[in-house]
């Protein structure tokens, strides 16, 4: 195999973006071999973009059974991510899933269990922000052991502003039956993945979510969450789609340094000794440690989606390393589900939590969702599709 024959399930914003990256020569070891979408207009666009000879399908399973592809990228609505990943795994087709891994941990655990049965299949997750030099360097520094333990994390990510017109652009948007959540599941999966990738999962979450606070929607558009870690560290995660002029600032306070990511730069304040050492030895009641403040140099590389796909192709063709293994997708989803569950129940949630309880609480909201047309389908699907059956 000289090139990976890639099939695309879902030719919406993300699927068409991946096709464009391949057609623009950004992924030299990949070719678009087939696409599947339920909308004729999107299939027509794909033929115009790739070539009239491109095989197109209005049924994803038919594409998977065609013999035309070696690998697939799944770029459909959230509920169906695990469904199509499982269908690929069972057929021995390499698969890359768009984020999030799914809507709730119970279905993603089933997907990961299926992946464990097929170690020969390359299974990746589209966490393109892990390719960003800023976050790669930050993880390297935190993991180095030079700066002691993490003491505090703060991420305010409020520059996701969306007007009402965004939510009105599709009846599936910002509904429990269509998306399964709001800002946490739509805008923030990358930040939640980066948070757990760099600092680890917390052991407890207490979250305050406002549902339709700033928009005429039924899911959350304003979030403030408090995190507790196993080592005693604490954290705060704040996000919204309602701030007209928002902020994106990520801070990690450690024993011997503080890191700040803001404005596309990484800054480090490094201390001459750890805070516990200073506290024990200082004789000044109002003493402060001196620090060296500097912007951290990185390699400047930030390949994003094409970088993830190139690593995917390298793993298939040459046994290389993925940017993110598919099984890792459950970790950021665990964090968002814990935040939702805390708000649903009105109390802190321990991690791991009861997957069945979260599923039950989510389905209560699906049943009363304003998007009535597909509610029955969603409830039926989550009852059996993620055991491997298809539509």
**343 exposed, middle or buried (CB, 10 Å; 0-12, 13-18, 19+)?**
buried
pLDDT at residue number 390: 28
pLDDT at residue number 370: 87
- Name the packing angle between helices 304-318 and 13-23 (round to 10°): 70
pLDDT of 380 above 70: no
pLDDT of 379 above 70: no
Q: How confident is the model over 212-232, as a mean pLDDT?
A: 98
Per-residue pLDDT tens over the stretch 279-326: 999 999 999 999 999 999 999 999 999 999 999 999 999 999 999 999
Q: How many residues does the chain have?
A: 391
Nearest to 15 by CA among 87, 60, 73: 73
3-state class (DSSP) for residue 218: coil
Per-residue pLDDT tens over the stretch 127-144: 999 999 999 999 999 999
Specify which residues 210 forms β-bridges with: 222
Q: How confident is the model over 102-127, as a mean pLDDT?
A: 98
Nearest to 34 by CA among 61, 14, 5: 5
Identify whether the C-beta of residue 324 lies closer than 8 Å to the C-beta of residue 308. Answer: yes
pLDDT of 382 above 50: no
- The arrangement of secondary structure in 129-300+325-391, i.e. its CATH architecture, is 2-Layer Sandwich (3.30)
My answer on whether omega of the bond before 352 falls inside 30° of 0, hence cis, is: yes
Identify whether the C-beta of residue 292 lies closer than 8 Å to the C-beta of residue 258. Answer: no
pLDDT of 387 above 50: no
Give the confidence band of 371 by pLDDT, cuts at 50, 70, 90: confident
Pairing of strands 292-295, 265-270: antiparallel
Q: Hey, how many other C-beta atoms are within 10 angstroms of the C-beta on 273?
A: 14
- The arrangement of secondary structure in 4-128+304-324, i.e. its CATH architecture, is 3-Layer(aba) Sandwich (3.40)
Identify whether the C-beta of residue 241 lies closer than 8 Å to the C-beta of residue 167. Answer: no
Per-residue pLDDT tens over the stretch 170-213: 888 999 999 999 999 999 999 999 999 999 999 999 999 999 99
pLDDT at residue number 388: 30
Q: How confident is the model over 350-373, as a mean pLDDT?
A: 92
Separation CA 86–CA 312 (nearest Å)? 18
What are the sequence ranges of the domains in the chain?
4-128+304-324, 129-300+325-391
Q: How confident is the model over 60-86, as a mean pLDDT?
A: 98
Give the confidence band of 37 by pLDDT, cuts at 50, 70, 90: very high
Give the confidence band of 377 by pLDDT, cuts at 50, 70, 90: low
The DSSP output letter for 187 is T
Pairing of strands 220-228, 204-211: antiparallel
Specify which residues 5 forms β-bridges with: 31
pLDDT of 386 above 80: no
Nearest to 326 by CA among 312, 338, 316: 312
pLDDT of 391 above 70: no
Give the confidence band of 384 by pLDDT, cuts at 50, 70, 90: very low
Mean pLDDT of the chain: 94
Separation CA 288–CA 302 (nearest Å)? 37
Q: How confident is the model over 38-66, as a mean pLDDT?
A: 98
Per-residue pLDDT tens over the stretch 231-286: 999 999 999 999 999 999 999 999 999 999 999 999 999 999 999 999 999 999 99
């Amino acid at each position: 195999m000289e090139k990976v024959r890639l099939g695309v399930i879902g030719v919406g914003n993300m699927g068409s973006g991946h096709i464009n990256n391949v057609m623009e020569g950004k992924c030299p070891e990949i070719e678009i071999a087939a696409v599947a979408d339920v909308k004729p207009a999107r299939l027509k666009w794909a033929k115009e973009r790739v070539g009239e000879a491109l095989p197109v399908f209005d049924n994803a399973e038919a594409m998977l059974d065609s013999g035309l592809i070696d690998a697939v990228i799944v770029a459909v609505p959230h509920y169906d991510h695990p469904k199509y990943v499982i269908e690929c795994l069972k057929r021995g087709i390499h698969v890359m899933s768009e984020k999030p891994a799914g809507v709730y941990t119970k279905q993603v655990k089933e997907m990961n269990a299926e992946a464990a049965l097929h170690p020969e299949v390359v299974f990746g997750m589209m966490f393109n922000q892990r390719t960003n030099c800023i976050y790669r360097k930050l993880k390297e520094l935190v993991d180095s052991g030079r700066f002691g333990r993490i003491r505090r994390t703060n991420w305010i990510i409020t520059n996701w502003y969306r007007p009402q017109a965004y939510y009105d652009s599709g009846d599936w948007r910002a509904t429990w039956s269509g998306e399964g959540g709001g800002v946490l599941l739509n805008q923030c999966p990358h930040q939640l993945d980066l948070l757990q990738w760099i600092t680890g999962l917390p052991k407890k979450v207490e979250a305050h979510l406002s549902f339709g606070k700033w928009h005429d929607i039924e899911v959350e558009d304003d979030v403030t969450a408090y995190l507790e870690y196993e080592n005693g560290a604490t954290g705060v995660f704040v996000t919204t789609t309602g701030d007209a002029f928002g902020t994106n600032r990520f801070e990690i306070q450690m024993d011997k340094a503080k890191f700040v990511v803001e404005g596309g730069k990484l800054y480090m304040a490094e201390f001459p000794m750890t805070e516990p050492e200073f506290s024990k030895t200082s004789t000044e009641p109002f003493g402060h440690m001196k620090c060296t403040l500097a912007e951290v140099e990185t390699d400047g590389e930030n390949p994003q989606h094409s970088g993830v796909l190139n690593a995917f192709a390298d793993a298939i063709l040459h046994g290389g390393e993925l940017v993110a293994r598919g099984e890792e997708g459950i970790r950021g989803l665990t964090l968002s589900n814990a935040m939702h569950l805390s708000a649903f129940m009105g109390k802190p949630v321990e991690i791991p939590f009861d997957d069945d309880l979260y599923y039950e609480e989510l389905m209560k909201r699906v049943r009363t969702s304003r998007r009535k047309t597909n509610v029955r389908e969603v409830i039926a699907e989550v009852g059996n599709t993620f055991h491997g059956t298809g539509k």
